[in-house]
Amino acid sequence: MGDRASAAEEAAAPSMAEPVNACAAFLPLAMLVMAAVLAVVAHRRRWLALDGRPGLGWLASPMHLMVMCVATWLTGGVATLVAARALGLGGTPDPASLTVRETAIVTAAAMGAGMLAAIGLIVWMCRMQLVSRTAISPVRSIAFGVIALAAWWPAVTSAGWIAGQLQLVATGIEPPVIGHSTLEQMVQGSRDAWWWLMGLSAVVLAPILEECVYRGFVQQALRRAGLGPWAAVLLASAVFTLMHVGSVPEGARAASLTSLAVLSCCFGWLAERTGSLVAPAAAHVAFNLGNLAVATALV
């Protein structure tokens, strides 16, 4: 009976795998079609038009905004060194050699300190009346950010899939399923307290920090320097993408960095469209959370 059961299971395995493989092959094409349809609708309804929109309306000079950007990153860097020395690592730690516990502590220190510094500087600008109040409530901004992310998601995944296919044709290297080193470490780690701390850093602290820096300081510095909204969005997105090169495995860079560039344009568009950092921050948190959920479900 046991041999017959094993033979039956082996015979059934290919028939069960075929629908899964067919679905996996069909999904990128479905996303590509959805992205094309949404792009046409967005163009016709002028959803992406940013003409006449003041963006965040920050009044600080470009130089002051870039000084705030540098100060934020320096704060995060100092926190990284302090946390590393407290763990006995010494110097600048190599992320590849860290355990989940060490990565969680160092990342939380860096992202938490940087986020607090960025928020503190924005609060200071508010008190100095260098930041205009937005007419959209925070709740509506969060809802709009999450809905906009859902609409942009097919474009993000399609851009990464196309870049990955081009890489496969040109080099023969197939992009890995997980295209981020932190995400890969989380998927492989056990679900202990340090895993949850790393998840908090990746899903909440990092998105808020990055939106304050890239959509706040960098993008608004470009706007204050005289660039148009989309020019500022594209340049800030280029900086955002380049800053993530080190956290992406070499074999995944074509797909992951292309996806990140399109995703960053979504965040920049949200900031200009709503006049607030709440919407892009909410979309960024939702994206990282969704990415983590999908990665842990697949592996």
- Chain segment 41-71, per-residue pLDDT in tens: 999 999 999 987 778 989 999 999 999 999 9
H-type helices in the chain, by residue range?
Answer: 2-45, 62-86, 100-127, 138-171, 181-188, 193-200, 206-210, 219-224, 229-242, 253-274, 278-298
Calpha distance 75→70 (Å, rounded):
9
Whether residue 178 contacts residue 187, with contact meaning beta carbons closer than 8 Å, is answered with yes
Show me where the domains of the chain are located. 48-68+134-298
Calpha distance 289→286 (Å, rounded):
5
Which ranges of the chain have pLDDT less than 50? Answer: 1-20
Determine the pLDDT at residue 7: 42
Q: Give SS3 for 48.
A: coil
Whether residue 209 contacts residue 118, with contact meaning beta carbons closer than 8 Å, is answered with yes
Determine the pLDDT at residue 10: 37
Whether residue 280 contacts residue 271, with contact meaning beta carbons closer than 8 Å, is answered with yes
Q: Which residues contact 128 (CB under 8 A, 6 or more apart)?
A: none
Determine the pLDDT at residue 8: 37
Q: Give SS3 for 1.
A: coil
- Chain segment 126-150, per-residue pLDDT in tens: 999 998 777 788 999 999 999 999 9
Determine the pLDDT at residue 92: 67
Calpha distance 132→273 (Å, rounded):
14
Provide the angle, in degrees to the nearest 10, between the axes of the packed helices 100-127 and 193-200: 30
Whether residue 288 contacts residue 207, with contact meaning beta carbons closer than 8 Å, is answered with yes
